């Protein structure tokens, strides 16, 4: 299996996003670099809108993710509710 990753800036906007990803993807590894958080995961990584909304108490548009997004790798499957990174086996 190969690794997918998503890298986000470290700030107050991304904190709930990172928390949500950690909760939804127990297999993910969080690497904290200066001003950046890189989240690696084997095979698949899911970012769920509902989990982020739970943490910020307001509606969240998954597109808001891109404001603080540095980079990502993997094939992207994007809907209104989920953004999934994966490598097709």
Partner 1 sequence: MHIDLRTVSIKPLRQTFDHVARRIGGDKPASRYQEGTFDLQATANFHYRPTWDPQHEIFDASRSAIRMADWYTFKDPRQFYYGAYTLARAKQQDTAEANFDFVESRGLAADLPVELRDTVLKLLVPLRHVAWGANMNNAAICAYGYGTAFTQPCIYQSMDQLGIAQYLTRVGLLLGDVEVLDDAKAAWMSDDAWQGLRRYVEDSFVVKDPFELYVAQNVALDGLLYPLVFEAIVDDVLAAKGGTAVAMLTQFMTDWYGETKKWVDATVKTAAAESADNKAQLEKWIVHWRDRAAAALLPVARLALAEGADAVLEDVVQQFNTRLAKAGVTV
Binding site for partner 1 (CB under 8 A): 12, 15-16, 33-34, 56-58
Nearer to partner 1, 11 or 75 (CB): 11
Helices (H), 1-89: 14-24, 49-56
Do residues 44 and 73 touch, judged by C-beta distance below 8 A? no
- Count other C-beta atoms under 10 Å from residue 26's C-beta: 7
Nearer to partner 1, 56 or 62 (CB): 56
Shortest distance (Å) from residue 75 CB to partner 1: 30
Residue pointed to by tokens 């097709």: 88
Nearer to partner 1, 54 or 82 (CB): 54
């Amino acid at each position: 299996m190969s690794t997918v990753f998503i890298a986000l800036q470290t700030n107050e906007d991304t904190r709930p996003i990172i928390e949500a990803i950690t909760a939804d993807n127990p297999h993910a590894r969080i690497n904290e670099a200066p001003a950046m958080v890189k989240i690696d995961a084997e095979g698949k990584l899911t970012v769920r809108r509902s989990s982020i909304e739970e943490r910020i108490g307001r509606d969240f548009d998954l597109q808001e993710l891109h404001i603080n997004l540095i980079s990502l790798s993997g094939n992207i499957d994007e809907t209104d509710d989920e953004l999934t990174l994966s490598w097709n086996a």
